[in-house]
Amino acid sequence: MLVMIYITGDTHNTEDMSNVSASKMKLCCAEQNVDYSKITNLIILGDFGLPWYDCPVDESGIHPTNKTDKYLLKWYNKKPFKILCVMGNHDNYDMIKKLPEVNMFGSSVLKVSENIYYLMRGEVYNIEGHSFLVLGGAKSDDKEFRKPHKNWWPDEELNEEEKENCLLHINSHYKKKFDYILSHTGPSKGIACADPYYLNEENCKQLKSDSTVCFNDEIDKIISYKKWFFGHWHSDWGYENFMNTKYVPLYRMGIVVHESVSKTYLLNSVGKENEYMFILREMEDGYIVKITRNIDGKENVHTDYISKTLFNSCIQTGFLKEIK
């Protein structure tokens, strides 16, 4: 069994929504020899742009009054997987602040609808057994031509509270080691991959005007990770060079990250049926697992951590029985 996450670049409300059309995603999946139908989560690396216009919000999410936002919400809600969005610089932060906060993937997310969520800047998530450090934001170079709170928002760059929160999460994370980093703009070394102009040391200094790039550079020096995914630069260099780089800028193309389930166990819960646990990854002192339960005819799925001590006890007592 495979659990798969599809990661792609900016969609800009309807402007680049074709980046996540079924046909485009199936093409990228086919090129990577993976099955589109197995995708569980779609991650958009900023500039999602929904909601773009102000509208009512309640505990269920947004209720657009604008025709375009209405259409787009309906379109995304039909997707057979969750849509998870990194915050960019072309996102309506006035609306994002109003979104209800819910718990998901071991931290807080902001709910747009039952199928769409914003990942919060500076948080760490465990998605399908993978650890993700989420950053986000960027400086708009054209903000002097934009109207505040209409098509530009002052909150586009990370604030000091978000940076401090991010550093706290990093320092408390095991060996400061993550599977993947998600951001909107990249660190300087990654940006130079997306745009060779910044390979020149003098040109690269221009990036320092963006406080988010500066913070990303700081983070890049103190953590370890497999890949750093980012958007913003409208480049698919990361798709074309994925196997040879840790920096993965994306725009129209998508990368699939996945991991095989190694073993499956039946949970012998009293009075409950159809409960299964799948081991996704072995850690130093435990396992990342996926647990599925059938509740009132609906499948409930979540990812969790179980220590090796507890796991061995469950095997010995017969609470867990391996399915071969």
211-222 and 160-172 helices cross at what angle (nearest 10)? 10
Integer CA distances (angstroms), 35 to 1, 2, 28, 75, 281, in order = 11, 9, 10, 21, 21
User: What letter would DSSP give residue 177?
Assistant: B
Going residue by residue through the chain, which has 324 residues, state the pLDDT in tens, using 9 for 90 and above: 466 899 999 999 999 999 999 999 999 999 998 899 999 999 999 999 999 999 999 999 999 999 999 999 999 999 999 999 999 999 999 999 999 999 999 999 999 999 999 999 999 999 988 899 999 999 999 999 999 999 999 999 999 999 999 999 999 988 899 999 999 999 999 999 999 999 999 999 999 999 999 999 999 999 999 999 999 999 999 999 999 999 999 999 999 997 656 688 899 875 556 788 888 877 778 888 888 887 776 667 778 889 999 999 999 999 998 887
CA distance 280 to 287: 7
Residue 306 structure tokens: 């179980």
The 10 Å Cβ neighbour count of residue 237 is 20
For the record, the structure tokens of 242 come out as 């994925």
> What DSSP character marks residue 33?
T
DSSP string, 286-300: EEEEEEEEEETTEEE
Specify which residues 57 forms β-bridges with. Answer: 62
